[in-house]
Chains A and B, each alone.
Chain A
Amino acid sequence: MATLGELAKLIRSKNAGPFNLTFDVMFDEEETYRRVVESNVLTKEVFCRLYNLAEDKVLLVHHDDARAIKISIPRPVFSCDLEDADCYGGQQFGPLVGIEVPDP
């Protein structure tokens, strides 16, 4: 068993404009990328459960050339509105880091 944080080259979040957030989980090796995708540990359903979101607004794509899983969501609070605390959206990925990936 390994965590996504141990297997990924980079896990990050960022604004995609002030109204959307996007999450990138990127891998160096094709084999690791395939292992994570096929394990289904990071799906729309898992993400929504973790982040307490409804699935209909969530976009999840597999970008094979980038060896990346990408998830985009509308921001629950728009960037820099009074309730927002993460202007760049750069610190929203934390809960993904500890996701466990079964051994191949």
Chain B
Amino acid sequence: MEARVLSPCGVIGSGFPESSFERGLSMKPHVIACDGGSTDNGPAFLGAGMPNFSRSATKRDLKLMLQGRESLGVPVIVGSCGTGGGDAGLEWMRDICLEIAREEELSFKLALVRGEQDKAYLKKRYKEGRILALDPAPPIDEEIIENSTHIVGMMGDEPIARALDEGADVVLTGRASDTSVFACHPVRMGADRGLSWHAAKILECGAACAVHRARPDGCFAWIRDDHFVVEPLNPQMYCTPQSVASHTLYENTDPFFITEPAGVLDTSRSAYSAESERAVRVAGSEFHTAERYSIKLEGAELVGYQSVIIGGVRDPMILKQLDPWLDGIREGFEARVQEIFPDRETPPAYQLHIRVFGRDAVMGTLEPEAGRIPHEVGVLFEVTAEDQVSANTMASTLAHFALHYPIPEWGGLISTLAFPFTPAELEKGPVYRFNLNHVVYPDDPYEMFPSEMMEVAN
């Protein structure tokens, strides 16, 4: 048994050298797979349904994959389309795919497997007690489900495998577990599940398992009866047993036990050895099937609209009393806000966050050196309100108010903040937050992920 998987890069749109991809094709993969999404870059992408990578960069990568598919007659799978993996992202990728097919005169069976969740379905499962919180998780109730702008479920390999069983040549999916996209076809071919899921875990980041990943690039895996082998596509990159073993550390809380919808990948008994100067052999990985099949949810909700101000403080007198000075601004501004909306009975609700760069802005409560004030600090004021006009109105007032906010040591009008921009305030737009870290227990792996098949003929 040998299942061969080609991973052109860690995320579609990040790019890969054509020479690497050509090399991957020459090794006769059974499937070309790529991940398209993440929660890494924050909730804005799921919340607004916008992709992180540009359309043109994504089109370039997908075109090469579709042309490679055409030459070998093997399936292409792209998971978590459009970053968030909601319907907007899937449709965005579908349109790019159809455009390439038209331009390059390609014909194939295209499957779309949706990951966006129906709120009525989730509320029903919630009432049945079949949505559980992971640790830690924000609070959940029906209102939170209802107020989410988008919720996606992270599909397992089964809905993708079903699309392939039904004859799909190209499968584009909504949010999917990164590993599902790569484990799906080998498992379907009868490969060992422990080895397939572990290989998938490495493949999903492209060449990230190499010792020095000089640029976004790809990776190839051979999954056999009792081991798998991984090798970076670029001949200038190489893997070592340590670099491959290290890869399970990346972005996982526990490197030995990695949870997937159908169970847990257990790498605690995995053995890593050099297959060649560039390739690594892995054996002993196991997959333990869970008692209950679970799907992880990701949700984003709109928090408000922001306008921000960046300023620097170099005055030693202010730095000596930075917190009391900022508290004074906060309090004084609260009173000032009452005055600037004369047409409203009550001023709009707002939140003001002030971060002090140079002190504890980066680490917050985790910062052990929060007591140390350097010779200058950067101050970031963030005004969040229910609408953009209110946020902008308040931020422009705040910029002026803070600029001249006095300290007792100086007698006379002072200008306290070095603004690098004019106007000092920047419109930041809508702000989202992740509002779910929960799992659903569905009846089966398919019910949350409807799919459709299209015949693309050119």
Partner of B40, one of A66, A70, A88: A88
Contact B253 A85 (CB under 8 A): no
- Within the complex, what minimum Cβ distance (angstroms) separates A49 from chain B? 9
Determine chain B's interface SS by DSSP, over half rule. Answer: loop
How many residues on chain A are close to B (CB under 8 Å)?
42
Q: CB < 8 Å: which of A16, A53, A78, A79 contacts B253?
A: A16
Q: Which of A22, A75, A82, A87 contacts B251 (CB 8 A)?
A: A22
* Residue B252 CB within 8 A of the other chain: yes
Q: Which residue among A65, A70, A81 has the maximum number of chain B CB atoms within 10 Å of its CB?
A: A65
Interface residues of B in 243-266 (CB under 8 A from A): 245-246, 248-256
Chain B residue with minimal CB distance to A49?
B368
Contact (A87, B136) CB under 8 Å given A16-B251, A82-B353: no
Chain B residue, CB-CB nearest to A86: B362
**Is A91 an interface position by the 8 A CB rule?**
yes
Q: Kindly supply a per-residue 1/0 record for chain A positions 61-86, scoring 1 wherever the CB is within 8 Å of any chain B CB and 0 otherwise.
A: 10101111010101111111111111
Residues of the B chain whose Cβ atoms lie less than 8 Å from the Cβ of A80: 42-44, 432-434
- Determine the interface band of chain B, counting residues with CB < 8 A from chain A: 35 or more
CB-defined contacts of A83 to chain B, threshold 8 Å: 353, 364
Question: Closest residue to B270 on the A side, CB-wise?
Answer: A65
B382 near A82: Cβ-Cβ < 8 Å: yes
**Would A76 and B253 count as touching, CB distance under 8 A?**
no
| B389 lies within 8 A of chain A by Cβ | no
Residues in chain A near residue B134, CB distance under 8 A: 19
Is the pair B137, A16 in contact by a Cβ cutoff of 8 Å? no
Nearest B residue to A91 via CB reads B362
B251 touches A74 (CB 8 A): no
> Which residues of A lie under 8 Å from residue B252 when comparing CB positions?
16, 22
Q: Is A54 part of the contact surface with B, judged by Cβ < 8 Å?
A: no
The CA of A96 and the CA of B248, in the complex, are separated in Å by 21
* Contact present for A15 and B362 (CB under 8 Å): no
Q: Give 11 pairs: A residue, B residue, CB < 8 Å, sorted on A.
A: A16-B251, A18-B43, A51-B366, A52-B368, A61-B256, A70-B255, A82-B351, A83-B364, A86-B362, A92-B363, A95-B368
Residues of B within 8 A of A (CB): 39-44, 134-138, 241-242, 245-246, 248-256, 270-272, 303, 351, 353, 355, 361-369, 382, 384, 431-434, 437
Q: A22-B249, A81-B434 are in contact. List 16 more A-B contacts (CB 8 A).
A: A16-B251, A18-B42, A24-B246, A61-B254, A68-B246, A75-B136, A76-B364, A78-B136, A80-B42, A80-B432, A81-B433, A82-B384, A85-B361, A85-B362, A86-B362, A94-B362
